[in-house]
């Protein structure tokens, strides 16, 4: 291809749970090249490099022809659907334990730690004195047990001062990322705002790894152009904003698919189903635009305060776990929501380990409960690693 005809190419990268896709797009010529590479969880840059290098080779263009990079991903959505993500500490200011029962907050919190502090403000901004004694006592040990913190204050949307003071104290002691609820939403509804903040905190490390991997590869190839990240409503935000508010990238992959479906079909009104390796997502094109959910995106059974495409996401995809549920009178087959790497692919990546184990299991006189189920380290540091359940090639 003549480089002069593609002097203003846009590079799109989509990192999913199974594959990483790359596309070179020209505003005059449309799609110039496209490629697919396996997503490499242990080092996301490898999968990104594989896809991008392939499109550059296909198009026979210089990296200097690229003027903008756009990144979309389903990693955040997948993490919430599968109940994964980093371990986060939740600090509730002016709330009590009974507030955890609202909006699914207790279910979302699971075994992650929570600290309740006296403080907060009323609807008029009036202050209840903030007492950080419990926080100061817990922080030294807690900082070694979590990867980030979420802070939610009573009526913080009216006055965020207490959230900011707690945030500063946590950063001073732990040097870990902190998300405050007033930074994500100005809507009332403390428990749901706390839920959104907690989920955001869990995703910070994951999105930082992805964006860092992408930036590192682009820099190594001399591609020094703005990098944007697709938001859940189909709009673009800067990479720096996405690092601070990764929750806004939930449904970004499916939102990009919705916009792409309109471009490819030319239809203004349509129902679009996006079936991936981890999830199946269904959304609607309405008069040429993605229909948005004004109540907030629902992912993994939790309704957040993030404005995103009105979409239903199910933990069912090409790599979904298949298991026999023998509870009750009649056994049944359950699918998802966890995704596992197929054994054939796991054996390709780790032939010595996988094949030897399978052969030993085949020679055994009795079937083992976990035969054919393996676990592989992800490559994350120990303090950030999420305990992986044993599964078929689980990564």
**Rounded Cα gap, residues 175 and 69, in angstroms:** 30
Mean pLDDT of all residues belonging to the chain: 86
**Rounded Cα gap, residues 306 and 320, in angstroms:** 26
CB 93 within 8 A of CB 153: yes
**Rounded Cα gap, residues 207 and 90, in angstroms:** 19
Q: Is the pLDDT of residue 394 over 50?
A: no
Q: How many degrees, rounded to 5, is the angle at CA 141 between CA 139 and CA 147? A: 80
> In which band, very low, low, confident or very high, does the pLDDT at 377 lie, cut at 50, 70 and 90?
low
pTM score, whole prediction? 0.76
Helix 44-59 / helix 190-220 crossing angle, nearest 10 deg? 50
- For position 233, what pLDDT does the model report? 84
Q: Is the pLDDT of residue 100 over 50?
A: yes
CB 226 within 8 A of CB 69: yes
Question: What Cα–Cα distance (Å) separates residue 137 from each residue in 142, 155, 178, 364?
Answer: 9, 25, 18, 53
Q: Is the pLDDT of residue 387 over 70?
A: no
Q: Is the pLDDT of residue 381 over 60?
A: no
How large is the average pLDDT for residues 187-206? 90
> In which band, very low, low, confident or very high, does the pLDDT at 97 lie, cut at 50, 70 and 90?
very high
- For position 254, what pLDDT does the model report? 78
How large is the average pLDDT for residues 210-237? 92
Tens of pLDDT along 153-180?
999 989 999 999 999 999 999 999 999 9
Q: Which domains does the chain have, with CATH numbers?
A: 88-195 (3.40.50), 340-395 (no CATH)
- For position 275, what pLDDT does the model report? 86
- For position 340, what pLDDT does the model report? 82
Tens of pLDDT along 4-28?
444 689 999 999 888 899 999 998 8
Q: Is the pLDDT of residue 85 over 80?
A: no
Tens of pLDDT along 24-77?
999 888 899 999 998 887 788 999 999 999 999 999 988 999 999 999 988 887
**Rounded Cα gap, residues 385 and 387, in angstroms:** 6
- Between the two ends of the chain, the Cα-to-Cα distance in Å is 39
């Amino acid at each position: 291809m003549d480089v002069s005809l593609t002097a203003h190419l846009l590079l799109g990268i989509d990192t999913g749970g199974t594959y990483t896709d790359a596309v070179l797009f020209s505003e005059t010529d449309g799609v110039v090249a496209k490629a697919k590479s396996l997503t490499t969880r242990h080092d996301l840059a490898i999968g990104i490099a594989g896809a991008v290098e392939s499109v550059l080779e296909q198009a026979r263009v210089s990296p200097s022809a690229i003027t903008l990079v756009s990144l979309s991903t389903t990693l955040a959505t997948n993490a919430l659907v599968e109940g994964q993500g980093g371990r986060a500490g939740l600090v509730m200011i002016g709330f009590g334990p009974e507030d955890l029962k609202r909006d699914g907050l207790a279910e979302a919190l699971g075994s992650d730690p929570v600290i309740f502090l006296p403080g907060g403000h009323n609807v008029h901004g009036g202050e209840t004195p903030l007492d950080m004694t419990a926080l100061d006592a817990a922080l030294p040990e807690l900082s070694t047990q979590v990867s980030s913190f979420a802070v939610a204050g009573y009526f913080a949307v009216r006055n965020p001062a207490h959230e900011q003071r707690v945030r500063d104290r946590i950063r001073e002691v732990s040097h870990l990322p902190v998300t405050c609820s007033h930074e994500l939403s100005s809507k009332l509804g403390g428990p749901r705002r706390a839920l959104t903040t907690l989920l955001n905190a869990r995703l910070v490390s994951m999105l930082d790894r992805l964006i860092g991997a992408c930036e590192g590869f682009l820099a190594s190839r001399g591609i020094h152009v703005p990098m944007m990240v697709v938001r859940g409503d189909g709009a673009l935000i800067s990479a720096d904003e996405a690092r601070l508010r990764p929750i806004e990238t939930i449904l970004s992959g499916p939102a990009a698919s919705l916009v792409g479906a309109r471009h490819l079909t030319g239809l203004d009104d349509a129902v679009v189903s996006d079936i991936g390796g981890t999830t199946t997502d269904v959304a609607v094109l309405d008069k040429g635009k993605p229909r948005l959910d004004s109540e907030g995106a629902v992912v993994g059974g939790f309704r957040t305060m993030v404005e995103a495409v009105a979409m239903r996401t199910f933990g069912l995809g090409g790599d979904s776990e298949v298991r026999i549920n023998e509870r009750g009178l009649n056994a049944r087959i359950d699918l998802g929501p966890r995704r596992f790497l197929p054994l054939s692919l796991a054996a390709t990546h780790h032939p010595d380990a996988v094949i030897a184990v399978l052969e030993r299991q085949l020679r055994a006189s009795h079937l083992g409960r976990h035969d054919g189920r393996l676990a592989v380290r992800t490559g994350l540091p120990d303090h950030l690693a999420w305990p992986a359940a044993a599964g078929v090639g689980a990564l």
